[in-house]
Chain A
Amino acid sequence: MKKDGIHLPETDLQDLAAKLHAIPAAHPRRPAMRRLWVGTLSGAAAALALALFWGRLSFTSNENAAAPGEWLEQTPTSEVVESLESDVWSTDAQELGALLTDEELSDLNPVKSSKS
């Protein structure tokens, strides 16, 4: 560096250094954990907003979807049979069974009634 003729008194430099060293205390940075929390929470909020928006879109598209009668007409028979044999159907049957008493169930049982 060339001589520039600027005389900086030592006290001035010390004062300046003291002021600059005080900056981190005067402008504390958010701790890493807080930054992490803020980041996580804002990310979660954004994801929730997106999910709600997406849910709203899906709901609207379902409303616009074909009515059940139309679906039946448009779906091939094999698919209709498959859906009737699905787990959902059997679960419904189990739930129905749970609502009946044992006696009512045995009354419904054709094998038992033929024996008796």
Chain B
Amino acid sequence: MTDLEERTLQSLCAEARYETAYRTLVDRLSAPMYRLALRMGLNHDDAQDVLQEAFISIWKALPKFRGESKFSTWVYRIVSNEALAALRRQQRRRLWTVPETEAPEAAALSQADAPFFDADETLRQLHRAQSLLPEKQRLVFQLRYFDELPYSEIAAITGTSEGGLKANYHHAVQKIRATLQQIKPETSDDLLPSENP
């Protein structure tokens, strides 16, 4: 969100116009948050559930928002937490239904081959590779690579230090590069030209 939008939201909350502020957040951020939830490996229904839960929390907590971070960072944090919680629930369910060794591969296939996924083969491989990352590393990779957020903002979203994040992102890129090189050696350099913090 732009600085102007952030300031507008701040003044709306200062005037206790929470419903207008909430509607602005929905209009501005629901699509990117939906996209994030899908990229994290959730299907359409689960992603919608995650967004509903997250925005209920946002609506309830809006009057208590103290402005210590940007509104967008705050929303990202709530949605990310909900998405991670949903993924953990899925994992627990999967433990009872799918043998453990098949689980990551099944998740990767379900994500990259989902009907909403409309990309070329290279991008499809990247999604397959990143869906094999641990959840938190996947989140860091998503926020840095696709959303192009600065480390300072990702640190606020994930509640970790910038140093830890840089290390996490570096490991994520290394793993993805290794996976991509196994599948198609020439693609990894095209997709991941640099991993500099």
Given known A-B contacts A20-B26, A23-B59, A3 and B51 have beta carbons under 8 A apart: no
CA distance A32 to B48 in the complex (A): 31
Do A21 and B31 touch across chains, with their CB atoms under 8 A apart?
Answer: no
- The CA of A19 and the CA of B19, in the complex, are separated in Å by 15
User: How does the 8 Å CB contact mask read for B41-61 relative to A, with 1 for contact and 0 for none?
Assistant: 000100010011001100110
Q: Which residue of the partner chain A has the closest CB to B142?
A: A4
A27 touches B27 (CB 8 A): no
In the assembled complex, B98 has its CB within 8 A of some CB on chain A: no
CB-based contact A20/B30 at 8 Å: yes
Residues of A within 8 A of B183 (CB): none
How many residue pairs bridge A and B at CB < 8 Å? 73
Q: Mark B139-156, 1 if CB is under 8 A from A, else 0.
A: 000000111100000000
Given contacts A2-B146, A2-B148, A19-B52, whether A27 and B60 have CB atoms under 8 Å apart is: yes
Is B16 part of the binding interface, using a Cβ–Cβ cutoff of 8 Å?
A: yes
- Contact residues, A1-36 vs B (CB, 8 A): 1-9, 12-13, 16-17, 19-21, 23-24, 27, 29, 32
Task: Say whether B19 contacts A6, CB under 8 Å.
Answer: no
Is there contact, CB below 8 Å, between B31 and A13?
A: yes
By size class, the interface of chain B is: 35 or more
Residue of A nearest to B191 (CB): A2
Count of residues in A whose CB is under 8 Å from the partner chain = 21
Contact of A24 among B16, B44, B59 (CB under 8 A): B59
Whether A1 lies near B116 (C-beta < 8 A) is no
Q: Does B117 contact A (CB under 8 A)?
A: yes
Residue from A6, A19, A29 within 8 A of B48 (CB atoms):
A19
Residue of chain B at shortest CB distance from A26: B56
Question: Which of B65-73, B87-95, B101-109, B118-126 touches A?
Answer: B118-126
Tell me the nearest residue of chain A to B62, going by C-beta: A29
Contacts of A6 in B (CB 8 A): 35, 38-39, 116-119
Chain B 1-25 interface mask (CB, 8 Å, partner A; 1/0): 0000000000000001011001100
Q: Which 5 residue pairs of A and B lie closest in terms of their CB atoms, listed nearest first?
A: A5-B119, A7-B118, A5-B123, A20-B26, A20-B55
